[in-house]
Amino acid sequence: MRIRLEVYLPFRGERIWRGEEDVPDGTTPAGLLERLGLKEPDLALLVNGRYVPPDRPLEDGAEVAILRRAEGGA
């Protein structure tokens, strides 16, 4: 499945990275962070503008934002 991804911290050589990402069906927010290699503590992950539990599977076409909690995350 494909998601729209915005990462508001250094990622893939950019200060802010935006793009689309193909991920396996059933990927969870926690799994996405692991898949992307983002192991920084205190990251917030918003799906379609809302906080979701780390074990809720993402849906195809979801808009996902990853940011540090200190920068406005949940």
Q: What pTM was computed for the model?
A: 0.86
Tell me the sheet residues that pair with 10: none
Domain ranges, residue 39: 2-71
| pLDDT score at 39 | 87
| Cα Rg of the chain, angstroms | 11
Q: In a structure prediction context, what are the per-residue pLDDT tens digits for the chain, which is 74 residues long?
A: 999 999 999 889 899 999 999 999 999 999 999 999 998 888 999 999 999 898 999 999 999 999 988 655 45
58: domain CATH number?
3.10.20.30
33: three-class secondary structure by DSSP: helix
* Tally of structural domains, the chain: 1
Phi and psi at residue 53, to the nearest 5°:
-60, 145
